[in-house]
Structure formats: C-alpha cells, structure tokens
Structure 1
C-alpha cells in the first residue's frame, strides 16, 4: 500500500512534489530539509544566501524563513529531533515553541514532534514552555495525536507532565483514538491512567469499545471489556461483532454479560446477523444464549441460517425492497396518526431493515420512542439520524426532544441552537429551546 504523502518524511514529500534533484528545489525547501536532518551549519549557510542584502542577519533570516507554511522549528522537531538544532532555534534564535504552522494541517512544533515520534524533541519542547493543553480546531490535544499514532512512550511522557486524559474533542478522547487505530499498548497505558472506558463521543455516542469493535481490533476490545466497558451500550457492540464475524470479541462480550436478545436498530438479533454475514461458528456460539425468535420456524442452527439467508435474498430484490419499504412506511405513518406508537415503531423498524440509513424513518421512529416515554431509544435514533446528515434541522430537533426527556437540558440547548441556525422559522423548536433554557437555570 502506498504511503500517505502527509505521513511520509519531509524530504520524501518534497521529492514527490518538487522532483528528485534537490539542487533544483527552492532554497527554502532545502533550508527545511537541513533543519529536518539537524544540520545547523547547512541551515545557516542557506539562511545567509536568502539574506541577500545582509540586513536581517542569519538569526533573523532563520526565524523568518518558511516554506509551504512550515518554519525551521516545525521541520527540525518533526524530523530527526536533533537537540543541537532545537537548542539553536529556540535558545539562540528565539523561535516560538507554540507557533502554529500555516499549512493545511496547521500544527504546532509539539504536534510535529509527536507525529514524528521524536521523544527527545517532545521533552525539549515541553521543557521550553510548549503548551501541552493547546487544542486544534476540533478540540484535540497532542495527547489525542500521540494516542492516534500509537506513540506509547510519548503518551506516557505527556501524561506524566499533566496532559488531560479525556480532552474536550467532539471526535472522542485519546482512548477512542487509540482504540479505533488498534494501538493495544497505548490503550493499556491510558487505562492504567484511569481513562474513562465508557466515555461517549457527543456527536455519535460512540464509546471506546464501540470504536474498537467498529474497527475490528480484537486485542483492544478485549482490554476495554476487561477494564469494565459497558457491553450493553447504545450501539450494541454484540450485534456489530456478530455482523462482522468477530468471533473472539463475541466470546468476550458474552462472558461479560452482553445481551444476545437485544436487536440492532433494524430489529435484527445478533444471531440473525451472524447467520447472514458471518460464520456457522458464530451462530453456534450465540445459539445457547438466544431466546427463540417467533418468525423462525425451525429453531436450530441450520434453521436460523436458512431463515436469515432466505430473508436476505428477498431484500436483495431492489423493486421488492422499495415497495416493501414504502408500504411499511405508510402503515407506520397511519399507526402514528392513530396514536398507536408501539405498532408504528415496529413498522418503522421493519422498513429500516430495507434501508437502515433512511434518516426520515429514523426521525419518525425517534418520535415514536418519545411518545412511548423511552428517551434513551429516542436519543439513539436521533443521533443516528443526525450522523447521516449533520445539516438536517429535524435531526437536531428530535435529539433536542430526547435530551429534554432525559433532563440533559444543557446539551439540549446546544443541539437546539444548532437546529435553529438551520431552520430559524421553526416555532416548535424555538419554543423547546426556551423551555430548555429555563429548566437549565433551575
């Protein structure tokens, strides 16, 4: 697999952009490569050539020279991390250890050092005042970055220097980042430092366990389960593991008390998902723990597999799927109008089997759960609905309603504020927002 250009070493990136003949590169590019390799003599030599009138001086030229948004310090700490060049740039030239680069990645020197895996450079920058708590535009810190890259020693150093174990990023905590990338050792370190194993990502309600299961990283999932992860969380990790054929994770989840009789968002039991998408071994594994499903006539391993495959074949007929979905939606709407919310939720669930990502259907089912007084299920559907389209006002409206039912008034205000930005004329949502504001203050 080809190396991602942004993750490749700086000299290689320049080769791919500028060609292999370094003599033909702009002097600023050669300047950054000298910094990357820690060649102070070469760095000064190029700086003198750039200071054509000799007015600024070498030091000022070194400090001011950039290429593609990066300065010498970004290149040095992101390269070999040579401490001699770091000392020259910071102690002698006086370069700012917290200055963002102006490239699309927009990283600080500390982030460059973490990305490069340069522990000595990270330590040097921290000793010289680098801000360990500085956040990027998504709210992620250098600890998030180190966890995502699997830089275990750097994670330990950052934690020893007081880095926040959870962070404020809406994309997740460092533990989420390590789990979704499959960095087992880093997950272990974060858990040893008491990272919250059940922390939810606000934008999609993912826990670290969900992240590991979604990415199919069995060792990380096992560590999280052993650390006390909630095996019956919002996203139904057992159903996901069954659909992906993650046998070892299924075993761990069952041993930890995961509910095999809890359906996914389309009403399918884990054993049904295993029968369609995975292997006979997983069906056999789930069978002793699963209660008989009424519409499966032959309650045996073979009977379940045959039933699931037949049902899946029927769903593969596009015309039949569209007709079935349309009919079920209409029946669901009619049941909702009659205030038969239980039947409406069942019908919407059946329709979602044909199209699990139908945002309107998810919003409708969320309304059913609200009428039935189940705020948790209403929130699950609203979040899935918003995940499919973050700019749909109705998804924010339904999430706001669910949060209100769960008495999460502050979060409801945030969600409804965004919803009103998307649909300023929505009087019903506006009324709900002011109600949330009032309750929040109590």
Structure 2
C-alpha cells in the first residue's frame, strides 16, 4: 500500500528547500482571489471586472457576492460608496440586489460612508434608492454630521429634505456644532433655517456659538447670535459665550450687556466679571475694566487668563494716561 498522502484533485503542490511538500488548496486560493478582485473592482468602479467576479462568486461561493467582506468588515457597496463610484453602487443595488442600508461591521451604512468622504453624487443615488438619512454608526455619527464637517451645503440640504435629524447629537455635538467648528457658514445657515437649536449644549460645555469661536468664522458667529433667543431659563454661560462672540465681532456694547446679564445670574462666577472687564477694555474704560478684572481675580485667583488680562489693561491705561510734568 502506498504511503504517499492523497491530494485533492484541485490542489497543487510545491516543494520547499528542505524537501517537504507544501500543499496549497487551489480552490481556496481561487476563491480568495475572486473575493479580492470583486472588492477592488467595487473600489475602482471597474464594472466589467465587478460583473465577472460577481458571476464567478455567485457560481462558486456560499452566499454569493453579498457575503464578501473586506478585512475592515465592509461589503462591496460600502467600498464603492466610500470611493464615490456611483455606477458601481448602481450595479450592486439594482443588478445584484445589495441592501442599500446594510451596515458594515463597524456599523456604517453606504450612505454614511459616501457622506463621510464627500461623494455627493453617490450619496444622492443612495438616497434616491431609499437609504435612510437618519442612520448612525457606532459613534452616533450621521450623514448630516459628515456633510456639515465637509461643508457640503448641497448634501446637507438634500439630507434635511429627506428627513435627516437636524439636532442629532453625538460626542462631537450636533451637525450645527460641527459646521460652526469647521467654519462653514453656508451649512450653518441651512441648518438654522431647518430648525437647528443654536443653544444646544454638547459635552456639558460647548454650544454651537463656542464651536464657532474655535472655528474662527465671524460669519458663523453672526448667524448663530442672530438665531439665539434667550429666555428666563437661559444659563449664565450662554450669556458669557455670546459676550465673547460680540467682542470678536467688534460690538463691545452688546458684549458688555451680555456680561452684565451673566453677572446678574451668577454674581459669584469669575467668568462674568472677566467678560465685563474685557468689554470695558474694548470700550477704553480701563478703570472700570481693572475693577471688574480684580473682582474676577478674587473669585478665581489661580486663573492665569485673568491675571494676563489685568496686565494688559494696566499697560493700556498707562499708554493713555497723561505724562506727569
């Protein structure tokens, strides 16, 4: 009886330098190759290769092409959408019946990936095929968050017209926070027109107005200030935030008014007096500014920002004081 190991007819053998046989299952190698080429074709928008590999996978793979995933857990439709391959998306959805909202392993939908990478045409196609504009990934990101991040006004408008949640919140905040931080006034304007809340607080700290300070867009600040409507339940921090935005816009009188409102609500909070001091400094009332900042310093003696402001106000006062004779 022969002692040679029986080899499957679909395998091939190679011999290592040590003389040991290494058996490679040709069927498994062929399957991996077809899967890889199928995913690459989706990424590249190569429709001929995509169709050919899909046909081979349907004939040879359990579950067919729809079960093929990349190492990061994305199917062909996710990869086509992420790379803006609209024609490939169309083929996968309409010819191969890929579910338009199927999540990847990390929870991303094809629409969310198209929005993430700024591929508006692919996103429009997916929305037209019924993709949900409210779908989120594992971190709570929505397509509207990504449209706001990319400054994509067209996509933001389309998503909102299809029912996207204008105030969807995640650790980054709402889409309005994201657009303001990214200095995208056109998107900020669209979001506000669709009812976005300009006073929404993220991470217990940030309002969209504070985010606009980080983004440095005066136009975003103007839009947000105009949209904010304060009432009796307004937190003092909102007046504080608006005060500094008025200062950035060069409107010191309104900055001072909001600082006073902040102080009335929280007379023991250093931030209100600091805002008051900076507004008075802008109005060149250096004595008043110094008094306000000294009160702020007493309430928060360890705040280096207040100490630096006191130094600046003192220098400004010296420059405008008449020289002694």
TM-score by length of 2: 0.66
Are the equivalent residues in 2 in contact too, given 1:32–1:72 (CA < 8 A)? yes
User: 2:295 aligned with 1:353, yes or no?
Assistant: no
2:50 aligned to 30, 43, 55, which one?
A: 43
Name the counterpart of 2:82: 78
Structure 1 or 2, whichever has the larger Rg, is 2
Name the counterpart of 1:259: 258
- RMSD over aligned Cα atoms: 3.9
User: What are the equivalent positions in structure 2 for 1:173-252 lying under 5 Å apart?
Assistant: 173-201=174-202, 203-228=203-228, 234=237, 236-237=240-241, 249-252=248-251
Unaligned runs of 5+ in 2: 1-31, 264-268, 307-325
C-alpha distance in 1, partners of 2:221/2:194?
A: 18
Do the aligned partners of residues 29 and 209 (structure 1) sit closer, same or farther apart at CA in structure 2, a change above 3 Å counting?
A: farther
C-alpha distance in 2, partners of 1:225/1:295?
A: 25
C-alpha distance in 1, partners of 2:252/2:81?
A: 42
Are the equivalent residues in 1 in contact too, given 2:280–2:286 (CA < 8 A)? no
Are the equivalent residues in 1 in contact too, given 2:280–2:289 (CA < 8 A)? no
1:291 aligned to 288, 293, 304, which one?
A: 288
Name the counterpart of 1:395: none
Q: Deviations over 1:294-317 (max 9, x none)?
A: 388xxxxxxxxxxx9xxxxxxxxx
* Deviation (angstroms), 1:26: 6.8
User: 2:91 aligned with 1:88, yes or no?
Assistant: yes
Q: Deviations over 1:178-219 (max 9, x none)?
A: 111111110111122232222223x32422111111332222
Specify the SS of the correspondent of 2:64: helix
Q: Deviations over 1:202-238 (max 9, x none)?
A: x324221111113322221122123336598515226
Are the equivalent residues in 2 in contact too, given 1:225–1:256 (CA < 8 A)? no
TM-score by length of 1: 0.50
Q: Which has the higher contact order (CA 8 A, sep 6+)?
A: 2
Do the aligned partners of residues 294 and 284 (structure 1) sit closer, same or farther apart at CA in structure 2, a change above 3 Å counting?
A: closer
* Deviation (angstroms), 1:155: 0.5
* Deviation (angstroms), 1:153: 0.4
Are the equivalent residues in 2 in contact too, given 1:44–1:62 (CA < 8 A)? no
Name the counterpart of 2:320: none
